[in-house]
């Protein structure tokens, strides 16, 4: 009897919850916009507000109600545009594969002469996750294809526009001194074992002798190296000179591209370094910056046309805002 009573109380409680849901749940899930056959909820909008401001929406609203609604309306408009754009993407069956996003990111890195690690470092500094950056790149590719499909006139970036952009943004094209290194690492398991250290020394001398005889550094790295980059022929990529260990920086400073160091002893073993490339500190020439500038100007033009195109789509769409 007692058990049946408990079940009855639970059922009554559940029935009461369904009839009268908590006020917070009702508010958080109310519809703030209808876009054609889709909806945007307050919960979705609040998530965007939190991403944009870094604040909980309720806290922002308490601190500055005007700022909350101003930010909310601005972000809601973007979300509406995104819904309209997404509907068109589906209608036109535009698809962007992950490999295309990877290739676009690679071009960004090449045009700006930065490594993938430097890109991640920059994103972290700006408070942007790599996942959201990839999503942004994917959206840009979709946007370009939409514009290419919808706008018949071809986008033309003129030479004088590239030159003007370069002259106005020269400070953006400064380059730090960088070096691209390759290495053969010989690891020592026991730093206190002098016998092992002497064996590594002999091995290192043998490798240097083979290099002197004309054997490929990359092939020897794949054969002997026990550290990072071994599978890539010892290639470690680019480093800012200022970030390299001071002792190694001194050695690299005296080297020219193609030079190979002697045996460099470290607490964890020994290494042989090859300088593959050196980029001096300075400002990129117009030719070096051309691809990056063209990409920026092209994207600017796409965005202008996209805004105009979205306005036209909005006129044809059913939109009802209740925020």
Q: Are residues 35 and 106 in the same domain?
A: no
Q: Are residues 162 and 213 in the same domain?
A: no
Q: Are residues 262 and 185 in the same domain?
A: yes
- Domain membership of residue 55 as a residue range: 2-91
Answer whether residue 186 is part of any domain.
yes
Q: Are residues 256 and 208 in the same domain?
A: yes
Q: Are residues 143 and 190 in the same domain?
A: no
What pLDDT, on a 0 to 100 scale, did the predictor assign at position 151? 63
Q: Are residues 268 and 187 in the same domain?
A: yes
**DSSP letters along 171-209, please?**
GGGEE--EEEEEEEEEE-S-TT-HHHHHHHHHHHHHHHH
Answer whether residue 323 is part of any domain.
no
d(CA 311, CA 96): 24
Answer whether residue 162 is part of any domain.
yes
Q: Are residues 34 and 70 in the same domain?
A: yes
Q: Are residues 57 and 182 in the same domain?
A: no
Q: Are residues 157 and 181 in the same domain?
A: no
What pLDDT, on a 0 to 100 scale, did the predictor assign at position 19? 39
d(CA 89, CA 83): 10
pLDDT < 70: residue spans in the chain: 1-28, 151-153
Q: Are residues 209 and 268 in the same domain?
A: yes
Q: Are residues 86 and 12 in the same domain?
A: yes
Answer whether residue 322 is part of any domain.
no
Q: How many domains, in total, are found in the chain?
A: 3
- Its sign, for the CA torsion 140, 141, 145, 148, is positive
Q: Are residues 167 and 303 in the same domain?
A: yes
Answer whether residue 290 is part of any domain.
yes
Angle value at C-alpha 132, between 123 and 157, nearest 5 degrees: 80
What pLDDT, on a 0 to 100 scale, did the predictor assign at position 256? 92
Picking from 47, 69, 91, the residue at the C-terminal end of a domain is 91
What pLDDT, on a 0 to 100 scale, did the predictor assign at position 181? 93
Assess contact for 51 and 44: CB atoms under 8 A.
Answer: no
The CATH number that applies at residue 258 is 3.10.50.40
Answer whether residue 207 is part of any domain.
yes
d(CA 233, CA 216): 9
Answer whether residue 320 is part of any domain.
no
d(CA 166, CA 147): 26
What pLDDT, on a 0 to 100 scale, did the predictor assign at position 293? 92
Answer whether residue 321 is part of any domain.
no
35-43 long-range contacts (CB < 8 A, ≥24 apart) are 35/80, 35/83, 35/84, 35/317, 35/318, 35/319, 36/83, 36/84, 36/87, 36/317, 36/318, 36/319, 38/83, 38/87, 40/76, 40/79, 40/80, 40/83, 42/323
Assess contact for 227 and 235: CB atoms under 8 A.
Answer: no
């Amino acid at each position: 009897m007692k058990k049946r009573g408990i079940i009855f109380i639970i059922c009554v409680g559940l029935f009461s919850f369904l009839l009268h849901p908590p006020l917070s749940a009702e508010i958080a899930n109310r519809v703030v916009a209808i876009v054609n056959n889709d909806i945007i909820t307050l919960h979705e909008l609040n998530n965007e507000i939190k991403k944009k401001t870094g604040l909980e929406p309720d806290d922002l609203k308490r601190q500055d109600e005007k700022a909350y609604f101003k930010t909310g309306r601005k972000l809601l408009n973007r979300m509406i545009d995104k819904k309209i754009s997404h509907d068109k993407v589906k209608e036109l069956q535009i698809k962007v594969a992950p490999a295309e996003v990877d290739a676009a990111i690679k071009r960004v890195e090449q045009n700006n002469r930065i490594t993938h690690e430097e890109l991640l470092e920059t994103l972290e500094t700006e408070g942007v996750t790599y996942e959201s950056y990839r999503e942004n790149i994917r959206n840009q590719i979709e946007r370009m294809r939409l514009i290419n499909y919808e706008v018949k006139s071809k986008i033309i970036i003129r030479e004088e526009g590239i030159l003007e952009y370069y002259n106005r943004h020269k400070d953006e094209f400064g380059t730090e001194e960088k070096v691209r290194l390759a290495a053969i690492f010989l690891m020592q398991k026991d730093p206190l074992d002098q016998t092992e250290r002497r064996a590594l020394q002999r091995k290192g001398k043998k490798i240097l002798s083979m290099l002197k005889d004309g054997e490929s550094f990359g092939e020897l790295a794949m054969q002997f190296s026990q550290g990072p980059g071994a599978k890539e022929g010892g290639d470690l990529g680019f480093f800012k000179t200022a970030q390299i260990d001071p002792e190694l920086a001194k050695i690299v400073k005296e080297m020219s591209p193609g030079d190979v160091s002697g045996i460099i002893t470290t607490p964890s073993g020994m290494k042989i370094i090859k300088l593959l490339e050196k980029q001096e500190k300075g400002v990129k020439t117009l030719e070096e910056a051309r691809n990056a500038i063209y990409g920026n100007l092209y994207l600017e033009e796409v965005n202008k046309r996209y805004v105009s195109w979205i306005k036209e789509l909005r006129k044809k769409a059913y939109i009802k805002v209740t925020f």
